[in-house]
Chain A
Amino acid sequence: GQNIDQPTEMTATEGAIVQINCTYQTSGFNGLFWYQQHAGEAPTFLSYNVLDGLEEKGRFSSFLSRSKGYSYLLLKELQMKDSASYLCAVHSGNTGKLIFGQGTTLQVKP
């Protein structure tokens, strides 16, 4: 089967750093994606990891350990607009589809 786990909710303070974890068990692995989704809006692409290690992109970084089936998304210098759901998704087969976790709702407080 395929299973992707993320915390349901997290709260952090404006200006702080937050780490959102994701663990996965999938049949096959072709990469892990992080998407951001504001309520009622389309998911937008944040990052992609296919090899182990850290990918940095501005205030956002994503880490992958394939042997542990583990990834995290690191958000620095949090802003109020970062309040959203963060979706971890795995590309596991040869078809292109992404399997999504339930998402982590992040609330940034002043």
Chain B
Amino acid sequence: DSGVTQTPKHLITATGQRVTLRCSPRSGDLSVYWYQQSLDQGLQFLIQYYNGEERAKGNILERFSAQQFPDLHSELNLSSLELGDSALYFCASSVKGGGANTGELFFGEGSRLTVL
């Protein structure tokens, strides 16, 4: 158990709909990262938040947005869903927000999204 909690574990929805994925980082971790993993694909970095502020952005679609709240949990919002958005969405956390000795990321179990 990494200490990172993600909900829901599984989600099935229809094209055009909107969903929200939730992540609680490890106790004491200030950074939250979101990754997407499609079938047979590597982990694609979406976005990072550090202590409530956006820290880095990857190839995140405009239909997707995220935020980190004062209690440090984060939510990833996916809207106007398409079939291609079906994937495993992982949240990870770390103590620091960057620089040398940031250390490893600790991953949650993921949220499996299926868009029909």
Chain A residue at minimal CB-CB distance from B91: A42
Segment from A10-18, A59-67, A92-100 that makes contact with B: A92-100
Smallest beta-carbon distance B38→chain A, Å: 11
The number of chain B residues touching the other chain, given as a range, is 20 to 34
Interface-forming stretch among B17-25, B61-69, B105-113?
A: B105-113
- In the complex, are the beta carbons of A95 and B100 less than 8 A apart? no
Q: Which residues of B contact A31 (CB under 8 A)?
A: 100, 102
Question: How extensive is the interface on chain A, given as a class?
Answer: 20 to 34
- B:16-70 near A, CB below 8 Å: 31, 33, 35, 41-45, 48, 50, 55-56, 58
Q: Smallest CB–CB gap between A89 and chain B, Å?
A: 8
Indicate the member of A40, A94, A98, A103 with the most B CB atoms within 10 Å.
A98
Known: A33-B104, A43-B90, A43-B107. A96 touches B42 (CB 8 A): no
Bound-complex Cα distance A30 to B90 (A): 22
**Residue in A30, A40, A45 whose CB lies within 8 Å of B102:** A30
> How far apart are the CA atoms of A44 and B112 in the complex, in Å?
18
B98 at interface, CB cutoff 8 A: yes
Q: Closest approach, in angstroms, between the C-beta of A107 and any C-beta of chain B?
A: 15
**A96 x B33 contact (CB < 8 A):** yes
CB neighbours of A94 from chain B (8 A): 98-99
A96 touches B43 (CB 8 A): no
A30-B100, A40-B88, A87-B43 in contact; A96/B107 too (CB < 8 A)? Answer: no
- Shortest Cβ distance from residue A15 to the other chain B in the assembled complex, whole angstroms: 29
Could you tell me the distance in whole angstroms from the C-beta of B39 to the nearest C-beta in chain A? 11
Residue picked from A48, A87, A95, most chain B C-beta under 10 Å: A95
B108–A42 CB distance below 8 A: yes
Judged by a CB distance under 8 angstroms, whether B94 is at the interface is: yes
Q: Which residues of A contact B (CB under 8 A)?
A: 30-31, 33, 40-45, 48, 50, 87, 89, 91, 93-103
Residue positions of B touching A, CB distance < 8 A:
2, 31, 33, 35, 41-45, 48, 50, 55-56, 58, 88, 90, 94, 96-100, 102-110, 112
